[in-house]
A and B are shown apart, each in its own frame.
Chain A
């Protein structure tokens, strides 16, 4: 049976820690190791931050949606925005690629998501928004 939860929250930077903590709390029933939990929370934080920073360009009146599902021992996370979208997804996923080099962004967000999760899918349409879906099997303690 699948168990899932969805949060819809304002695109404000102060909600980044809330979003990753909520994801972590929901996944606690899989009894993940500290390392697994830390890595999944990091991936959630990357996707949520991207939605806030790049999707909405800091417009806090918009909303980000986070869904976390448990499918057997697999955690599935999806983060969506209805913001500006990504022109070239393959390029965006390259290490060190950023469209905002002036603001101390390192361009490592997608690289971190890829490293810390088993799968990463990005679907995006310019002017419509972006959905990042990622999953990771939890070995547990």
Chain B
């Protein structure tokens, strides 16, 4: 799993690539939390174009970041999920986050 974060205006855009599972989740969680603390922004954008696999561990990572953001009134948007990812996001009630 590779993550590169960039601040663009009031948003932090994180480009994720590789496989997001239970094994890579801690690394993803840490990279995203670090980016959010370093460059506080109201909106976190997760660009999933490069993610080749995601299971419910990815849902855990996304829900965790969403909760952190909501504490300060922020929000989260998910871009370019695969068809399989989209189904999982919808199952978890996160379909509205897809931008």
Contact = CB atoms under 8 A, between A and B. Distances in A.
B23 A106 contact: no
B21 interface: yes
Interface in B13-40: 19, 21-23, 25, 29
Contacts of B53: 17, 20, 38, 41-42, 45
Interface stretch (A46-54, A71-79, A120-128, A129-137): A46-54
B57 interface: yes
Interface stretch (A2-10, A85-93, A107-115): A107-115
Interface of A: 13-14, 16-17, 20, 35, 38-39, 41-42, 45-46, 49, 52-53, 95, 103-109, 111-112, 115-116
A116 B57 CA distance: 16
Interface of B: 19, 21-23, 25, 29, 53-57, 59-61, 63-64, 82-84, 87-88, 91-92
Contacts of B25: 104
Contacts of B54: 42
Given A17-B21, A104-B64, A111-B91, 16 more contacts: A13-B22, A20-B53, A39-B87, A45-B55, A49-B21, A49-B22, A49-B55, A52-B22, A105-B57, A106-B56, A106-B59, A106-B92, A108-B56, A108-B59, A109-B56, A112-B91
18 contacts: A16-B21, A17-B21, A17-B23, A17-B53, A38-B82, A41-B53, A42-B54, A42-B55, A45-B21, A103-B60, A104-B29, A104-B60, A104-B61, A105-B57, A106-B60, A108-B59, A108-B88, A112-B88
A108 B64 CA distance: 14
A16 B56 contact: no
Contacts of A109: 55-56
From DSSP, what is the main secondary structure of chain B's interface residues?
A: helix
Contacts of A116: 87
Q: Which of A17, A39, A106, A111 has the most CB of B within 10 A?
A: A106
Contacts of B87: 39, 115-116
A111 B59 CA distance: 12
A20 B91 CA distance: 21
B29 to A, nearest CB: 7
